């Protein structure tokens, strides 16, 4: 059994424990602010965070701004992406009074954990990380020290607040493994301080983009949560379909039509096959109309909430979140230095 299968097998029991004892868990999770959050993020992670928050699990959400430059040279519109993401979190139901939303770069003590943590892992272990290898290949660039040490700074993100539950997509599971290794080795060497966090894999199957490929802003196949109804209609109108009139769900052979069906299905809470049967010989135009209406109805509430959130609201949320994260990071760093005999 590989480690993904092993982790997946533990999910039902882990979920039961969370529901029973929400107070025993502290969630740390986050996003790289590389662009706007889209429907894939919503169903993949954002909805899960809101669910955990409403169960009463203490939740931290990091906007990992330094991670943006792991696989690209330019930071781009990081600030704007961060602000838009916070607005989306709030509109989706994350409540900044109970959920700490903060930015990686604003918490120096968190980043300082990187130094002792780097001593706990070997270069060979870093080179073995399959997600780092995949991101390196996709980036088409030389391996930077930042990309190589990706799992170590992610360990600092998680352990600074002693997070023990990390909802992530399965591509991030290798980083959770490294985090567990670092926590274990630190505890063995310097005394018990850190939990060994568990990865929580979201139940939702990954939502493909409108053309059936991976949903990504750079493919133009994503519906951003912050789009207007007209912008949504326009991306769906532009989505490619094939020449067969009758609509069927067949992700392998008809990725474009199937991407539209998957999108309509997830927002309607139905199966793609069911929607394919409904549209049938009415063709791609009818499928696009149905998908546009379904997505716009689904996002109407999110958009209304979002419209009521001002730039000042977002700035205040980040200010408070960063302050809270800083005081926790300061306390943890103090404990780390005390454990290592470095208080002067």
Residue ranges that bind ligand TRP, judged by CB under 6 A: 28-32, 62, 64, 67, 154, 157-158, 166, 168, 172
Tell me the residue number closest to ligand TRP, measured at CB.
Answer: 64
Cβ proximity to ligand TRP, 168 vs 264, nearer residue: 168
Cβ proximity to ligand TRP, 32 vs 36, nearer residue: 32
C-alpha distances (whole Å) from 328 to each of 70, 218, 269 are 26, 36, 39
Cβ proximity to ligand TRP, 133 vs 240, nearer residue: 133
To ligand TRP, the closest distance from the beta carbon of 344 in angstroms equals 31
Cβ proximity to ligand TRP, 149 vs 232, nearer residue: 149
Cβ proximity to ligand TRP, 31 vs 88, nearer residue: 31
Cβ proximity to ligand TRP, 152 vs 168, nearer residue: 168
To ligand TRP, the closest distance from the beta carbon of 198 in angstroms equals 12
Instruction: Locate all alpha helices (DSSP H) within the chain, ordered by sequence.
Output: 3-20, 39-41, 47-55, 78-92, 108-112, 114-118, 123-127, 130-139, 145-148, 150-159, 173-190, 229-238, 255-268, 272-279, 283-307, 311-339
Cβ proximity to ligand TRP, 27 vs 279, nearer residue: 27
To ligand TRP, the closest distance from the beta carbon of 242 in angstroms equals 32
To ligand TRP, the closest distance from the beta carbon of 292 in angstroms equals 28
CA-wise closest residue to 17 among 168, 206, 165, 217: 165
Residues 157/175, Cβ–Cβ less than 8 Å: no
To ligand TRP, the closest distance from the beta carbon of 41 in angstroms equals 9
* CB proximity list for 60: less than 8 A, separation 6 or greater: 26, 27, 28, 29, 30, 99, 100, 102, 161, 163, 325
To ligand TRP, the closest distance from the beta carbon of 106 in angstroms equals 14
C-alpha distances (whole Å) from 32 to each of 229, 243, 297, 334 are 26, 38, 28, 27
C-alpha distances (whole Å) from 304 to each of 30, 90, 110, 119, 205 are 24, 12, 35, 48, 27
To ligand TRP, the closest distance from the beta carbon of 28 in angstroms equals 5
SS3 state of residue 52: helix
C-alpha distances (whole Å) from 201 to each of 93, 170, 254 are 20, 6, 28
């Amino acid at each position: 059994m590989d480690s993904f299968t092993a982790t997946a097998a533990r999910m039902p029991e882990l979920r039961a424990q969370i529901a029973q004892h929400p107070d025993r868990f502290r969630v740390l999770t986050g996003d790289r602010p590389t662009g706007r959050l889209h429907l894939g993020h919503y169903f993949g992670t954002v909805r899960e965070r809101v669910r955990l928050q409403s169960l009463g699990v203490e939740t931290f959400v990091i906007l990992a701004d330094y991670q943006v430059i792991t696989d690209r040279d330019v930071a781009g519109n990081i600030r704007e992406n961060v602000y838009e993401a916070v607005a989306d979190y709030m509109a989706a139901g994350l409540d900044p009074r109970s959920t700490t939303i903060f930015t990686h770069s604003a918490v120096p003590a968190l980043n300082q954990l990187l130094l002792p943590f780097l001593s706990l892992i070997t270069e060979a272990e870093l080179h073995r990380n399959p997600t780092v290898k995949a991101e390196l290949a996709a980036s088409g660039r030389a391996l930077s020290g930042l990309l190589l040490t990706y799992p170590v700074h992610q360990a600092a993100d998680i352990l600074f607040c002693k997070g023990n539950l990390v909802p992530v997509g399965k591509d991030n599971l290798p980083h959770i493994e490294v985090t567990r290794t670092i926590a274990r080795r630190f505890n063995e060497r310097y005394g018990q301080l850190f939990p060994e966090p568990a990865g929580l894999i979201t139940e939702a199957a990954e939502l493909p983009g409108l053309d059936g490929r991976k949903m990504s802003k750079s493919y133009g196949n994503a519906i951003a949560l912050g789009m207007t109804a007209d912008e949504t209609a326009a991306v769906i109108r532009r989505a490619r379909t094939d020449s067969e009139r009758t609509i069927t769900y067949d992700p392998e052979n008809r990725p474009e039509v199937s991407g539209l069906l998957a999108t309509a299905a997830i927002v309607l809470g139905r199966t793609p096959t069911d929607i394919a049967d409904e549209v049938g010989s009415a063709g791609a135009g009818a499928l696009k109309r149905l998908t546009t209406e379904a997505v716009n109805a689904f996002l109407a509430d999110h958009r209304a909430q979002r419209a009521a959130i001002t730039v000042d609201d977002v700035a205040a949320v980040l200010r408070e979140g960063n302050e809270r994260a800083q005081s926790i990071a300061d306390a943890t760093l103090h404990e780390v230095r005390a454990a290592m005999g470095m208080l002067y």
